[in-house]
Amino acid sequence: MLILLALAAAVAYAVMFMPRSDDEPGSGSTGPASSASGSPDPGTGDSGGQDSSGSPTAQQPQTSRSAVALAPGYTLRKDQEGFEVGVLKGWQRSPANADRQIRYGSDGFSLLIVPGRDTVKANGDDPLTYQADKELELQQFRDSSWSGSSGLRRIDVGRQAMAEGQFTWQDASGREVYARNLVMIVEGRYHVVQVIGPENRRDKVTDIYEQAVASYRVTP
């Protein structure tokens, strides 16, 4: 079964953009899983889902296998680690490391995918708590003496639990970075989609993130 993660292509919340989702709770999912943020994707309507505050979402999660129309300059990469995702053309892929992190990137920007390394059984079933306290990909943020975060929230649509956030910190080289981070539970495992770039290029980080999450699909 293919499990789809879909993210909308517009800013929905002032200057921030928030994802939405579809399907499973902390115990895991057996059906399609998706996320949306901001305005609806082309061809979709409003959903009946709500975020953790009870506000209705603006996006109907995409659960079909129809192809996502990527923006010009992006291409769909089918990864041997069991997923496909839209990335900028010409980006290089780094092999999965010991932490099961797969990176695509170039010119100071990177897309990091973690396809189900951590389990709900070992890390709890709240993706917001996982993102805040346990997600390895945000350890540099937690350790940095200069850091900040915004837009931290859990989103539930149907039975699908997700969380997102925006983070800034100073990396090991002293560079100030900005990250968009999405966590979702698929069949009892956490999947992470994270885009990192220079703090003063938030617009490009958001563009890359938007395309990645809209096209991310877990494959058998």
* pLDDT score, position 101: 98
Encode burial over 200-212: b for 16+ CB neighbours within 10 A, e otherwise. ebbebbbbbbbbb
Tokens, residue 61: 């999660």
> Side chain identity at 111, as an amino acid letter?
L
Distance CA 153, CA 209 (A): 17
pLDDT at 68: 77
Question: pLDDT value at position 44?
Answer: 32
Count CA atoms within 13 Å of residue 91 on its CB side. 25
CATH code assigned to 3-218: 3.40.1000.10
User: In the prediction, which pLDDT does 65 show?
Assistant: 46
- Taking the model in full, what pTM does it have? 0.73
Single-letter residue type at 167:
F
Residue 198 and residue 211 in contact, taking contact as beta carbons nearer than 8 Å: no
* Structure confidence at residue 10 (pLDDT): 31
Q: Residue-wise pLDDT tens for the chain (220 aa)?
A: 334 343 333 323 332 333 333 333 333 333 333 333 333 333 333 333 445 444 433 333 333 345 678 999 999 999 999 999 999 999 999 999 999 999 999 999 999 999 999 999 999 999 999 999 999 999 999 999 999 999 999 999 888 899 999 999 999 899 999 999 999 999 999 999 999 999 999 999 999 999 999 999 998 8
Write the secondary structure of the chain as one string of H (helix), E (strand) and C (coil): CCEECCCCCCCCECCECCCCEECCCCCCCCCCCEECCCCCCCCCCCCCCEECCCCECCCCCCCCCCCCCCCCCEEEEEECCCEEEEEECCCEEECCCCCCCEEEEECCEEEEEEEEEEEHHHHCCCHHHHHHHHCHHHHHHHHCCCEEEEEEEEEEECCEEEEEEEEEEECCCCCEEEEEEEEEEECCEEEEEEEEEEHHHHHHHHHHHHHHHHHCEECC
- Residue 19's pLDDT is 36
